[in-house]
Amino acid sequence: MEFVNSADFATHLDEQDELKAFRNEFLIPQHQGKDMIYLCGNSLGLQPKAAQLEISRQLANWQNLAVEGWFQGSEPWLSYHQQLLPTLAGIMGAQPAEVTVMNSLTVNLHLLMVSFYKPEGKRFKILMEGGAFPSDQYAVKSQVKFHGYDPKDAVIEVIPCEGENTLRTEDIVAKIAQHADELALVLFSGINYYTGQFFDVQAITAGAHRAGAYAGFDLAHAAGNVPLQLNNWGADFAAWCSYKYMNSGPGGISGIFVHQKHHANKTFDRFAGWWGYRNDSRFKMAPGFEPETGAEGWQVSTSPILLMATHKAALDIVERAGGVTVLREKAIRLTAYLEFLIDDINREAGEELFKIITPRNAGERGSQLSIICKQNGKLFFDQLVKNGVLGDWREPDVIRLSPVPLYNTFTDVYRAARFLSDAVHHVSS
């Protein structure tokens, strides 16, 4: 598509948008009496209007049924989480038995590494991307220390080539092959939180398996953002949060994926809890842990119903919108338009004031552009906020802007770019 830098063109794109009605299903924060231009869905998605209704329904069940709410009513809490699994499986490219909802992201990564990080002999190392989200770094390093290893010896980080901001798939695969006989686990992000790069999950998984290692993924920035095919790609496990592109509330419930090829394996170590026990005999309260088949066998604690209620409200919207593949089509157009407009600002200025470090290839990024400000970055960001544009600032010089297809418009993107252009003149004057 040939883009035009004009309000009329942005309006034209909005009029043609088949998803435009879904914006009305979200509560848009206000700025000086008008809708804020919210481009921070990569950090926290907006609140679905239906979230309050779903929570209220469960509060009413609590009020009217009390403890019997676990077994009675139209949605007994004991099986409440299971109604989320078909939609979630579609988002992840998984079988329903391969996914479940539980805990929070880093807790789930730890629980999964209990099973999938099994160091033995010289095969004790974990390979991950350099610049992974700090929580992943902390989790990995604490895991290797728990097993008695020094993170300096046991953690291998893959970093970009000199002068580059993102990783080449061939370099990741080559690094895996280089350390093939030392690796116990390859743990990568689906999308790097800082650069917005969408990694080739399938190629990384294949490389890990050739090396004799498990392949796991933190999908915090990929879940609900890009189409995934975890089952077909053969990933061993994955975990994600639901409060970014899946709009399920601050600190919302996490989810996990465990590939079906592992479901019959009774040798896995795991940190067990009552909620992961076999569903058909859980209430017999028998000694000795017998896990439920599938991802549910990694559950530990009782389902937090109110968190799951907000997750259900958000997932229902994704389902009605046609799923992540449909959302992805609009997301590609939104980020491409934003890219065009930022390039136009640089052309106008006669220099590269804003360097996009997110891959230019739409297939290698999610709905995010990370922009290095060559100078006065925080001043530019503050000017955007002053004008009702809320993105995300990352020290020392990066603005992250993430237009979300369910609630952002092309006019949002156009106006954000105009305010950024105006900020250039304001900061330089």
Find the CATH number of the domain harbouring 132: 3.40.640.10
pLDDT grade, residue 367 (50/70/90)?
A: very high
Asked, for residue 366, whether it belongs to a domain, the answer is: yes
Same-domain status, 17 and 99? no
Domain boundary among 297, 320, 343: 320
Asked, for residue 142, whether it belongs to a domain, the answer is: yes
pLDDT at 382: 95
Same-domain status, 205 and 233? yes
Same-domain status, 192 and 224? yes
Same-domain status, 85 and 72? yes
User: Residues 105-120: pLDDT tens digits?
Assistant: 999 999 999 999 999 9
Q: What is the mean pLDDT of the chain?
A: 96
Same-domain status, 276 and 337? no
User: Residues 13-62: pLDDT tens digits?
Assistant: 999 999 999 999 999 999 999 999 999 999 999 999 999 999 999 999 99
Say yes or no to pLDDT of 284 above 90. Answer: no
pLDDT grade, residue 429 (50/70/90)?
A: low
User: Residues 129-158: pLDDT tens digits?
Assistant: 999 999 999 999 999 999 999 999 999 999
Asked, for residue 2, whether it belongs to a domain, the answer is: no
pLDDT at 267: 85
Asked, for residue 97, whether it belongs to a domain, the answer is: yes
pLDDT at 266: 81
pLDDT grade, residue 426 (50/70/90)?
A: confident
What would the 3-class secondary structure string for the chain be? Answer: CCCCCCHHHHHHHHHHCCCHHHHHHEECCEECCEECEECECCCCCCEEHHHHHHHHHHHHHHHHHHHHHHCCCCCCHHHHHHHHHHHHHHHHCCCHHHEEECCCHHHHHHHHHHHHCCCECCECEEEEECCCCHHHHHHHHHHHHHCCCCHHHHEEEECCCCCCCCCCHHHHHHHHHHCCCCEEEEEEECECCCCCEECCHHHHHHHHHHCCCEEEEECCCCCCCCCCCHHHHCCCEEEECCCCCCCCCCCCCCEEEECHHHCCCCCCCCCCCHHHECCCCHHHCCCCCCECCCHHHHCCCCCCHHHHHHHHHHHHHHHHHCCHHHHHHHHHHHHHHHHHHHHHHHHHHCCCCEEECCCCCHHHECCCEEEEECCCHHHHHHHHHHCCEECEEECCCEEEEECCCCCCCHHHHHHHHHHHHHHHHHHHC
Same-domain status, 195 and 76? yes
Say yes or no to pLDDT of 418 above 90. Answer: yes
Domain boundary among 292, 320, 348: 320
Same-domain status, 63 and 152? yes
Same-domain status, 238 and 126? yes
Find the domain containing 75 and state its range.
54-320
Asked, for residue 74, whether it belongs to a domain, the answer is: yes
Same-domain status, 182 and 302? yes
Domain boundary among 263, 285, 320: 320
Say yes or no to pLDDT of 371 above 90. Answer: yes
Say yes or no to pLDDT of 288 above 70. Answer: yes
Say yes or no to pLDDT of 428 above 80. Answer: no
User: Residues 182-202: pLDDT tens digits?
Assistant: 999 999 999 999 999 999 999
Asked, for residue 44, whether it belongs to a domain, the answer is: no
Instruction: Tally the domains of the chain.
Output: 2
Same-domain status, 118 and 208? yes
**CATH number where 345 lies:** 3.90.1150.10
Say yes or no to pLDDT of 427 above 80. Answer: no
Same-domain status, 251 and 354? no
The mean pLDDT value for 244-272 works out to 95
Asked, for residue 40, whether it belongs to a domain, the answer is: no
Asked, for residue 1, whether it belongs to a domain, the answer is: no
User: Residues 391-417: pLDDT tens digits?
Assistant: 999 999 999 999 999 999 999 999 999
The least confident of 13-22, 180-189, 261-270, 324-333 is 261-270
Same-domain status, 336 and 263? no
